[in-house]
């Protein structure tokens, strides 16, 4: 740990002259005394779940979606698909048919064909339910195994279901989404956003100068009402106005992103303030003040980061249930990696408070987290690495872009061996494409493509 923490006391422990109170809100260190009794934690929640699945797309589902593309039909129902695929030996009573047809999980979705930038061919979206389904990877053929399914769950879907219900819906249930879209689906990657909402504390004006993070770039935006934060690369973004406190985004989407922003303001803009006021009121047992500013600290963990955390703990973190016992420890790890300091020695007491008091499903197990990449040293793997590396160098000199290079790779007779190698490391064809894009860029920037 590269920082020191403050001693914690409460008014009761100080008046009694007793030892420290581990849950106290008075923080003492060599630099200052800080009182945080006015800080109210309004919520600690899993804000987003993105579950990836590996498998072969179900040809019947592909046919159904292709028909909707041909008919230009933007509304799709999955309940009729479930009925069509039920085994003939299963008694199909009218009551069971009515139950499936009326099920809100599968009834009506907005359907659209996606562009290649999204990585997937089809999107099914139901904002009322709070679920987005991305299906059919552009980086692999639909008749082969691949990372062909990504399911994103929104905050209100997550908060409205138990963890077992979530997993039944995603994968474990008889009519789970993964089994509707893939043949023999396998969980292969999980990304999560962890969020802590609070009132009663304003980030200091010198926040940036005292913030410790791995991000190297700073971009500033003032007076912006709406900003899409999802596609920014490794950077820091601040936005706000004279009447509104600064909001921050650190890091890139493919690593750990840190965001600090006015959640109440964002909730008003997205027309979800009633929902959040209700959630905050329940969490605080009525102490939340709807008229006061509610801010959020949010950590967004990419699935490759989660996988590396699992490898460092000698565990497999490929599905949401794998993570649940360790979410609080993962939160603390992210807060250490993106840290507000009080001075060059001590972490800021407010950061210490959020790390101590924010719990996600389970208390922290006080595990030391160390990320680890999956290594492979067998001769075939070394040959595959060499082939890809040398090919990138040659193609960079030829001026190939990522799209053309991936098309070239797919013509190789051992392309499936390359994909199998990546899969053995817990990676997918999408990861291969990202590595190729990075390799081509580095060779041009460093002059190896000259």
pLDDT on residue 232: 38
pLDDT score, position 233: 39
Residue 429 confidence class, pLDDT cut points 50, 70, 90 = confident
**What pLDDT score was predicted for residue 231?**
41
d(CA 234, CA 215): 6
Task: Check residue 243 and give its pLDDT.
Answer: 60
pLDDT at 443 > cutoff 70: yes
Strand partners, 150: 52, 134
Encoding tokens for residue 170? 């995603």
What letter would DSSP give residue 366?
A: -
* DSSP symbol at 230: T
What is the mean pLDDT of the segment spanning 331-339?
95
Band (pLDDT 50/70/90 cuts) for residue 73 is confident
415 band by pLDDT with thresholds 50, 70 and 90? confident
Instruction: Please tell me the predicted confidence (pLDDT) of residue 78.
Output: 82
At residue 84, the pLDDT reads: 54
Please give the share of the chain, as a percent, with pLDDT higher than 90: 47
Q: Region 168-177: what's the mean pLDDT? A: 88
Three-class secondary structure of residue 169 per DSSP:
helix
What confidence tier does 31 reach under pLDDT thresholds 50, 70, 90?
A: confident
Domain range summary for the chain, segments of one domain joined by +: 48-192, 379-445
State the alpha helices, DSSP H only, in 210-292: 263-269, 273-283
Amino acid 77: pLDDT? 84
pLDDT tier at 359, thresholds 50, 70, 90:
very high
What pLDDT is recorded for position 298?
96
**DSSP letter at 271?**
T
CB 247 within 8 A of CB 261: yes
């Amino acid at each position: 740990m590269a920082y020191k923490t403050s001693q914690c006391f409460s008014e009761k422990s100080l008046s009694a002259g007793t030892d420290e109170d581990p849950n106290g809100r008075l923080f003492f260190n060599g630099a200052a005394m800080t009182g945080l009794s006015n800080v109210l934690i309004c919520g600690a929640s899993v804000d987003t779940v993105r579950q990836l699945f590996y498998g072969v797309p179900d040809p019947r589902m592909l046919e159904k979606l292709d028909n909707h593309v041909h008919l230009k039909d933007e509304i799709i129902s999955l309940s009729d698909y479930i009925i069509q695929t039920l085994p003939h030996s299963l008694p199909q009573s009218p009551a069971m048919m009515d139950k499936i047809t009326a099920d809100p999980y599968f009834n009506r979705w907005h359907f659209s064909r996606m562009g290649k930038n999204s990585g997937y061919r089809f999107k099914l979206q139901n904002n009322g339910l709070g679920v987005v389904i991305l299906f059919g990877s552009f980086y692999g053929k639909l008749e082969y195994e691949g990372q062909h399914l990504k399911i994103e769950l929104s905050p209100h879907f997550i908060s409205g279901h138990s963890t077992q219900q979530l997993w039944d819906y995603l994968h474990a249930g008889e009519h789970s989404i993964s089994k509707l879209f893939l043949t023999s689906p396998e969980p292969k990657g999980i990304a999560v956003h962890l969020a802590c909402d609070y009132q009663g504390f304003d980030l200091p004006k010198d926040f940036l100068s005292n913030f410790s993070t791995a991000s190297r770039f700073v971009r500033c935006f003032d007076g912006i009402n709406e900003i899409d934060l999802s596609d920014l690369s490794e950077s820091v973004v601040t936005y706000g106005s004279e009447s509104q406190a600064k909001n921050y985004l650190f890091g890139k989407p493919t690593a750990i992103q840190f965001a600090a922003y006015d959640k109440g303001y964002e909730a008003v803009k997205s027309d979800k303030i009633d929902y959040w006021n209700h959630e905050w009121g329940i969490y605080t047992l009525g102490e939340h003040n709807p008229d006061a500013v509610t801010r959020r600290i949010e950590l967004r963990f990419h699935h490759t980061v989660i996988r590396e955390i699992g490898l460092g703990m000698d565990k497999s973190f490929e599905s949401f249930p794998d993570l649940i016992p360790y979410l609080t420890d993962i939160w603390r790890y992210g807060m250490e990696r993106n840290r507000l300091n009080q001075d060059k020695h001590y972490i800021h007491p407010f950061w210490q408070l959020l790390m101590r008091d924010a719990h996600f499903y389970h208390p922290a197990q006080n595990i030391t987290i160390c990320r680890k990449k999956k290594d492979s040293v067998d001769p075939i793997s070394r040959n595959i690495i060499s082939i890809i590396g040398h090919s990138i160098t040659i193609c960079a000199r030829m001026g190939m872009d990522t799209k053309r290079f991936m098309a070239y790779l797919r013509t190789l007779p051992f392309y499936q061996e390359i994909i199998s190698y990546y899969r053995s490391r817990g990676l997918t064809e999408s990861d291969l494409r990202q590595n190729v894009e990075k390799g081509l860029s580095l060779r041009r920037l460093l002059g190896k493509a000259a």
